[in-house]
Structure 1
């Protein structure tokens, strides 16, 4: 299909959906990424044929040949986004076309076919429509959407595959970090790096996250919820966390985040926070921040707040930093006012509780 064509999705309802009573029990405490809805969306791709066979069907195992290319050469990308309940009983998504554009940027970097943005968004809409009862109530509840694509061609050889499968699954979720919004402790990895210049750091591919797992386990061993990666060249400058972008708030109200140089994922929440902070009158900067600067400014009191942001965690304050030689805190280890104000602005927008001057909110139902 061409970039402007629209795919029609065949709807095949699950013949044995979870009962309303069992669904309610699951939604009472869904955690994060452990409970899944009744359906999934699928689109297939083949060279010379394009995108075809779009459908929504019962969620279930995906048959896979042992020689499927993704298992050997890791051609795989994904996105993460959410659907939210609104106070009037409707459903919204936040900036789905931005996710569609980033998905295609990732696809290009990984030598995969791009998916027309409207087909990407339509796949989400069709899945939300049929599984809307799975969206939890409450401020922290949402339906996490996971679109992904992988090389499904059966062959062994180092080249881009000729066949791909695009799938969307959905998971009702609560808060990303247990215990609600409270400052987290992060570990600055002395040995591991996330991405190098010229690599896949700006693509949302599974390999980046696999490479972070050893460092994340090291963070957990030191009593930390997340790992912070420094740049791969000088091992001096802050890149991002294992799954989130990072922001620094100074005593003059300025808001700073590391620049996008190809090693950092261009977070949609990150971009939204930059826009909201600027609109609120803060001086906003994208510049390198060294770990030494982070520590010195925290100790002097010049650095008042630090927070992480991403689709799953929204905006999460960082209260304490640990590294092999010691630790330090920001703002007395308490959530900062600017951090929490930006978080509330973002949540209110996502759930349709505030004016949307940027046209970020996409009404689904």
Structure 2
């Protein structure tokens, strides 16, 4: 690093949501001076950083002016102005992950082409510029349509079962993908520093909420064979090295019923599939991301115990000032850790927090997690 720690180093975070908040909680241990930019004046990070600025992440001047006096910039969301980051890099500000990586990952079409060019296993796909192209796609129905840009947390994704669904399809540039008959959705988080050191966290298994397509339940470590786990981790390492990314990369994958692994999507930042690492692993994903962008030795990623992570989502039918029910009751269960994100208002299915349940016994961790899921509610 150009500057030492102990308050001298100025780190900017684009995005002030829960990922930024948990990153700050780790960054405090490094004594860095933290600046945050977010469009929401009530963002979860606003009271935890040295300087909070309310402004657009997609506006060139706002991002450029925010970053020009900082030493290093990182992100907690991909939807940022990459042109501004590119100019800041040219002027000597370090940006990790690099602007070129963010630009590629912002576009799911470019992501897919990157997979193809680098022999990374992924489902068959076709780039679509408008609805008209859907009449002659080479991908057989049913298939998945994804917006190339701005889709997140299950938004920007549609299943089209037949040509009769085309009127409901996205009109914007998109990709269509073969529908994968998968057995399980899995993820591996990989970190790479500027020296080229690479480390993966052990593979995790995910279960999704069928209504909003958000991760609802995550189990670590996986009980799939060593061969499958190693294969998933090697794919993640290859992607990090092919990208030459500096920072953290979440690699979401499908494990098919025939035992193949196909890469679904990438996120160049701390990710929902790594929250369990705070209690469940020797080093957390947030600490590892900071080690990577500060070009420090990467930490020990081994699991301490079995960990189950639950996303705490706003209850359907409730909107307004958040009210949490059942916190005291779940904290009476051993191995339960509550993380509330500091969001003032709840709405249906909004991510309001997460809960990690750890235990030496995997089945007991899962049983306790199901209990917690039944008890805790976010209402208004």
TM over 0.5: no
The alignment's TM-score, normalised by the length of structure 1, stands at 0.30
Q: Which has the higher contact order (CA 8 A, sep 6+)?
A: 1
